[in-house]
Structure 1
Amino acid sequence: METRELRYFVAVAEELHFGRAAQRLGIAQPPLSRAIRQMERRLGAPLLERSSRGVALTEVGAVLLREGRAALDAVDAADRRARRAAAAAGGGGSAAIVLVTKAGAANDLLAKLLDAYAAEPGAVPVDVVLCRPGEQERLLRDGRADVGLLHLPFDSTAGFDTEELRVEGQVAVLPSGHPLATRGELRVADMAELPGLPLPRWPRFDGTFPDGPGPEVHDHTQLLQLISLGRAAAVLPEASRAGLHEGLTAVPLTDAPTVTTVIAWPPHSTSRPLAALITTATRL
């Protein structure tokens, strides 16, 4: 199976429309349809159910979509990492480490890590990429990042090497004037008693938002502003207290699951600067 064919299939499977997939790929629709039919003949099973109502994935197609995405991510990662290594070799030095983390999360830990690593002999620059919740994992898998800070149980660490850095509780972040903001602690069930303060909706990878009453939120700064305006509430790790501005209050949620921050990286990495960064993180 060629990577070109996989890209064709993934585009159709994600769009569930041959015309949109062809437009996305920049090709005509007939050769795209032929390529998918050829894949189905070779596999001996249909990948898509075609009807007058549209296109849907079969069980076989769902498996190929999942595995195909992983394979394409691996190919893209190899290309990106090789190009960065070539650029570093051409410049006579080591490429910068790209570290990805969720915006607004573990800021204190990250600041200590960057300062401590910069003091190490042979340290290279660290480019920090701040992203939306859940996006760190994808950037690590497709080679756009070398290492990341992930948060369990929300992020998946499957396929990565990891080291645990911190375990903490969670807090409810509320407008300071809300009646519940004066309590010493809350339970998760208490969050249902917040009329007019729904939890936010973060975008999925395809740019759409899940259904629900909460406001659509694109970044951490926007979230905090909506809370201070009395339009939303949030459940965040305990360490987020440090980044709260006036008008916001954090109340411990006693029965919320703990959040474990881990540093994660692809297991096949052989970068010595990255190994030094991970050693520094575990020492801290």
Structure 2
Amino acid sequence: METREMRYFVAVAEELHFGRAAERLSMAQPPLSRAIQQLERRLGVALLHRGSRAITLTEAGSVLLREARLALEAVEAAERRTRRAAADHPGIVLATKAGASSELLSKLLHAYAAEPNAVPVEVILSGPGEQEGLLRDGRADVALLHRPFDTTTGFATVDLHTEHQVLVLPAGHPLATRPHLTMAEVRGLTDLPLPRWPRRDGTYPDGPGPQVRDHTQLTQLIALGRTCAIMPESVRSHLRDSHAIVPVSDAPPVTTVIAWPPHSKSNPVADLVRTATRL
């Protein structure tokens, strides 16, 4: 299959309408329909159920949609990384969640800069869960991810640091003096509902807690007594007197990992990973 055909099919499969897909691709509808029919003939399978009122995907079409998305992401990633390698002053791009692993990141960048073959490192501070996408589509060469929250499937990884989680709540709250809490007790707090983070599609789950987009917004809402949050213990260094911390005894530990595409042969990425492992 050609990447052009995959782009055509993904547009049709996502829109489930040839007219909208053609408009999205800035092309006429008849050649788009012919291209999909030719693809089906070459593969020997039906990719779409063409009803009088609607188009739906066949089982084969659903598989191709998943695989084509991954293939197109890989092509785009290759293009971005190739252009970066050919720049006048090539460097590497590291993605990490804003407000997370700040002390570790600072130590890593300082230690790597002292290496004899170090190249410039551009740091992208992303929202929750965005590092994975930046790494997959080539906008980043390496990322700091956090299990169990981030998916590391398909990446090469090295574990860097594991820590317990704590509840961050407003200073002066009645629970601030407790030696520890359980997950059930935290979920049962009616005066401090847990925050709601956006899903991958940008929508928010239902619930009483406030909608949050980043770490700064979250800590401000906690200080105002609008919410609380379960966070890695290293968050202590970023909090003010308006916050209190209580360990959560049964919260899963969080492991910070450095991740990169397993097929990457970049010497600077390898040097950065070795530096992180040594730290």
Scaled by the length of structure 2, what TM-score is found? 0.90
CA distance in 1, matches of 2:73, 2:79: 10
Out of 114, 127, 146, which is 2:109 matched to? 114
Distance 1:102 1:53, change over 3 A: farther
CA distance in 2, matches of 1:104, 1:53: 49
Mapping for residues 1-284 of structure 1, pairs under 5 Å = 1-49=1-49, 54-87=54-87, 91=88, 93=89, 95-284=90-279
Higher deviation after alignment, 17-26 or 68-77: 17-26
Secondary structure at 1:32's aligned position in 2? Answer: helix
Distance 1:243 1:44, change over 3 A: same
Question: 1:229-251: per-residue Cα shift (whole Å, max 9, x none)?
Answer: 22222221111121123322221
Letter paired with 2:11: A
Q: CA deviation at 1:26?
A: 2.7
Distance 1:31 1:252, change over 3 A: farther
Distance 1:34 1:157, change over 3 A: same
CA distance in 1, matches of 2:249, 2:139: 37
Letter paired with 2:22: A
Q: CA deviation at 1:183?
A: 1.3
Secondary structure at 2:86's aligned position in 1? Answer: helix
Secondary structure at 2:161's aligned position in 1? Answer: strand
Instruction: Give the number of aligned pairs.
Output: 279
CA distance in 2, matches of 1:17, 1:245: 53
Q: CA RMSD in A?
A: 2.2
Q: CA deviation at 1:196?
A: 4.0
Distance 1:4 1:120, change over 3 A: same
CA distance in 2, matches of 1:203, 1:76: 25
Letter paired with 1:9: F
CA distance in 1, matches of 2:52, 2:167: 48
User: What percentage of aligned pairs have identical amino acids?
Assistant: 68
CA distance in 2, matches of 1:245, 1:55: 55
Q: CA deviation at 1:19?
A: 4.4
Q: CA deviation at 1:119?
A: 1.5
Unaligned runs of 5+ in 2: none
Letter paired with 2:228: A
CA distance in 1, matches of 2:206, 2:221: 18
Q: CA deviation at 1:209?
A: 2.6
Letter paired with 1:13: A
CA distance in 1, matches of 2:9, 2:210: 34
Question: 1:147-174: per-residue Cα shift (whole Å, max 9, x none)?
Answer: 1101111222222111110011111121
Q: CA deviation at 1:271?
A: 1.9
Secondary structure at 2:93's aligned position in 1? Answer: strand
Distance 1:227 1:68, change over 3 A: same
Distance 1:115 1:13, change over 3 A: same
Scaled by the length of structure 1, what TM-score is found? 0.89
Q: CA deviation at 1:38?
A: 3.5
